[in-house]
Amino acid sequence: MKKPERDPGSYRLWPWLSFISLACIVLFPAKSQLASLNIPLNEYDILDRSFSGDIFLKTTTVLVLGSLVLIKSSSFKSWSRFIWHTIIAPNGQDDHQTGIDKFYAGQADIYDKTRERLLVGRKTMLRLAVAQIKATRRSKESRRLVWVDIGGGTGYNIEAMDEFLPIQTFDAIYLVDICEPLLEIARQRFATRGWTNVHVICDDAAKFILPEEDWHENGEASISFATFSYSLSMIPDFFTVLDRVYHLLVPETGILSVVDFYTSSKTPLQSSEISGLERECSWFSRWFWQIWFDFDRVHLGPQRRDYIEHKFSTVKNFNGRNKRLLPFISIPYYIWLGRRTDSNETLKRPKDFESEFTTFDIGYAKTSWRIKYDMRPMQKDMKTFLYSFTWEDPYDDMRHLKISDKDSLLVITSAGDNALHYALKARPKEIHCVDVNPCQGHLLELKLSALSVLSYDEFFAMFGLGQLPTFSDVLDSKLAPYISAPCYQFWRMNTHMFTSSSSLYMHGHSGAALRFSRALFRLFGKSGDVGRLCDADTISEQENIWRESLRPIFVNRLAAFLLGGSIFCWRALGVPMNQLRMVLSEGSVIQYIKDTLDPISSLGTLKNGCYHYYLTLMGRYSKSSCPLYLTKEGFEALSANNGALTYSLKLHTDTISNTLASMKHSSLSRAVIMDHLDWFAEGSQDVTDEVELLFKALKLGGFVLLRSAARNPWYMKTFSSTGFRITCLSSRTPGCKEAIDRVNMYASLWKAEKV
């Protein structure tokens, strides 16, 4: 009878465990042993006081017995075999096929168990792909749904897919791999499940043939969906394989998904859909992981990813770090979705909304709102948004703008609240939303995608209350097909903004001001008064609470000191030093605070419409006090007809000057630039250049609407000298008791008309 083969992992660990046990006995002898050796025990007082020698014997016994139990456990056996085959056992110099079989032969049955923590992102990739497939098949009729999982090994991906999309939904699924030991596990798995539409093919990824009835001589356009799950990095001839997959994918609806390890050095500035956030790896990470994985025939050089991004059009891209394997260890991995570059069957916008700007490719379901942009050096440091809400009164804007459905607007993106208000109330032809901070565009893009697919309750939970515990799943399964690659990357890295105990509005730079205010209320014991203020039924009750309880917190020397400091103003309030200088040139910070806040309590109750201050005090909106787009009526109008009203929005991630320079002359009728020009130093040439570009881009009779923290901003003379006719629409005087709008944050409102 053949003697059972000893588990290789346990076999190699036994000597080490025996050595450790012996060392414990030698290094920590019992007290009786010390006495027998005539060694004075007083020399071991510290040992005698702290421990007993008998305890060391017992400890050694426990360690040995524990080791025996551990070795006999199935988990230990699995991991010892994993360590043996992946780290210790020599792989030799066999050809690729033989080497792969040899590598996995001894660990095929434990492959899935030992890779759960190592191969992360597989389910996320499948969730994203399923969302894309569903969105695509809703928007257009598709041929047979055929999935090829290349290098799928044990069939884990196919079994996991059943959680997101029933396997019976597919007309056929083919698992292609050259490793017979892993494929045997897959066959057993599928047989147990009883799936008759799943087929296992042992063949080279560059040569496989599918038993499809409509398989052409070369198989062109026969696959709807293809995946590489930690397999592309193990394919030597990846150029040929990727070319073949490109050839096999259906041009109209085909999707390719990849999840794999990677390394990447500092890349030159390129389209943000390709580079994404956190792509660059440190020199040590690049060096270590490439060498480490190379021993197991896994190649982490940038060539594979670079070629796939060159060959295919990127739809989704995520750069992550696997920190689940061991503490302080992070392995770079990426998730990528794309399609053929010759795919031109995208659901187009109506002709009225066609644009000369190139948008991101988000797949076949819809045309993106986001204009493509290249990451600039200064944008790499913009890790979050400055404003999570828009700090201007859109109702006052509408009173002056007088927009029609023939108008084209340029506005600053901010949080997008006012742009959505304009779209709802006036339905203009175009609204160009411009912000150099990519994160502001990510926030508005997320709102637009949510309007397309979420229910009103989900939408209000996200942007009214600022919390959605299921946001991670909603992002992958519902929103992802409608947002650009950089937008997805940002929100995938910041899911906590919706899932944490604090709301969305407590994040970003503006969130710092809200958190600071909340801390002040707690410090002075005024949190209850804040709640009463926001729940007051009458203006008189509101005014009493403000003047008697809360006003002293804001109108004092400490507040003046903080608001007079450039660091706090910028980090918490988004007020740059140049704008602060304009305020100080016309008065004091204390006076500015009084003129801003004192009139607010008399405008109307916070609980029924004064939503800007309700948000800043409560950290959320209510359904009776929120922007128009968050009302039930606003949501239904914006989401109707597949979000037709939102087609007019185009999101630019650039400076206003660069965006204006790319536009045709006389193509705009309105420009709303908020307090943007306050940010420049007095006499700045950049202001002169921007004003001249505004003059060129505006039609005759078109105008700029702008606000300023100063009553008489210096740059209005620049507008006059350029050819604009300027008009001051409203202005605050020191000590004035009336607000100029429902926010009352700025000292003046101006109109500059092209004549």
Token pair in block for residue 38? 């005539």
Give 396-420 pLDDT, tens digit per residue.
999 999 999 999 999 999 999 999 9
Percent of the chain with pLDDT over 70: 81
In 403-489, the DSSP E strands lie at 408-412, 430-434
β 668-674/698-708 pair status: parallel
N- to C-terminal Cα separation, the chain: 103
Give the Å distances, CA to CA, from 216 to 142, 143, 209, 222, 251: 18, 15, 10, 8, 15
pLDDT at 140: 63
pLDDT at 588: 86
* Spatial contact of 374 and 270, defined as CB atoms under 8 Å apart: yes
Q: What is the CATH number of domain 111-345?
A: 3.40.50.150
Res 17: pLDDT: 46
pLDDT (tens digit per residue) in 572-586: 566 788 888 898 899
pLDDT value for 183: 95
Using one digit for the tens of pLDDT, what is the confidence trace for 256-306? 999 999 998 876 555 555 666 778 888 898 999 999 888 878 899 999 999
Higher-pLDDT residue of 62 and 172 is 172
pLDDT band at 347 (very low <50, low <70, confident <90, very high): very low
Which pLDDT belongs to residue 716? Answer: 97
pLDDT on residue 13: 43
Q: Which residue has the higher pLDDT, 525 or 565?
A: 525
Predicted confidence (pLDDT) per residue in 451-506, tens digit? 999 999 999 999 999 999 999 999 999 999 999 999 999 999 999 999 999 999 99
pTM to 2 decimal places: 0.85
- pLDDT value of residue 651: 97
Judge whether residue 38 has pLDDT over 60. no
Q: Is 80 exceeded by the pLDDT of residue 80?
A: no
Mean pLDDT, rounded, for 222-249: 94
268's CB contacts (< 8 A; 6+ apart) are none
- Work out whether strand 430-434 and strand 198-202 pair parallel, antiparallel, or are unpaired: unpaired
The pLDDT value given to residue 49? 44
pLDDT (0 to 100) of residue 37 = 44
DSSP 3-state assignment of 664? coil
Residue 33 has pLDDT above 60, yes or no: no
Q: How confident is the model at residue 708 (pLDDT cuts 50, 70, 90)?
A: very high
Top-confidence residue, 48 or 186: 186
Nearest CA to 672 out of 401, 402, 416, 355 is that of 401
Whole-number Å distance between alpha carbons of 597 and 269? 44
Other C-beta atoms closer than 10 Å to the C-beta of 230 total 22
Closest by CA to 235, choosing from 173, 176, 312, is 176
Is pLDDT above 50 for 1? no
Mean residue pLDDT across the chain: 85
* pLDDT-derived band at 139, boundaries 50, 70, 90: low
Residue 352 has pLDDT above 50, yes or no: no
pLDDT tens digits, residue range 605-619? Answer: 999 989 999 999 999
Residues 418-462 pLDDT 10s? 999 999 999 999 999 999 999 999 999 999 999 999 999 999 999
Beta carbons within 8 Å of 646's beta carbon, 6+ residues apart: 369, 420, 423, 448, 451, 452, 638
Do residues 517 and 490 touch, judged by C-beta distance below 8 A? no
pLDDT band for position 221 (50/70/90)?
A: confident
Q: How much is the average pLDDT of 5-29? A: 44
Query: Which range is least confidently modeled, 4-13, 40-49, 111-120, 241-250?
Result: 4-13
The answer to whether 335 and 259 are in contact (CB under 8 A) is yes
Taking only the tens place, the pLDDT of each residue in 644-657 is 999 999 999 999 99
Mean pLDDT of 105-125: 86
322: pLDDT confidence band, cut at 50, 70 and 90?
very high
Q: What is the pLDDT of residue 56?
A: 54
Region 106-126 average pLDDT: 87
Q: Which residue has the higher pLDDT, 121 or 558?
A: 121
The answer on pLDDT for 6 being more than 60 is: no
Tens-place pLDDT, residues 667-694: 999 999 999 999 999 999 999 999 999 9
Residue 154 CA to residue 200 CA, distance in Å, equals 10
- Model confidence at 571, in pLDDT bands (50, 70, 90)? low
Give percent above pLDDT 90 in the chain. Answer: 61
pLDDT-derived band at 30 (thresholds 50, 70, 90) equals very low
724-731: strand order across its sheet: 649-652, 430-434, 408-412, 668-674, 698-708, 748-754, 724-731
Which residue ranges make up each domain of the chain?
Answer: 8-109, 111-345, 508-618
pLDDT computed for residue 141 by the predictor: 61
Phi, psi angle pair for 705, to nearest 5°: -110, 125
Specify burial of residue 685 (Cβ count, 10 A radius: 0-12, 13-18, 19+).
exposed
pLDDT for 626 beyond 70 = yes
pLDDT confidence bin for 82, thresholds 50/70/90: low
Comparing 43-47, 337-341, 450-454, 673-677, the range with the smallest average pLDDT is 43-47
Q: Using H for helix, E for strand and C for coil, what is the string for 316-336?
A: EEEEEEECCCCCCCCEEEEEE
| pLDDT at res. 7 | 40
Of residues 296, 341, 302, 334, the one with CA closest to residue 317: 334
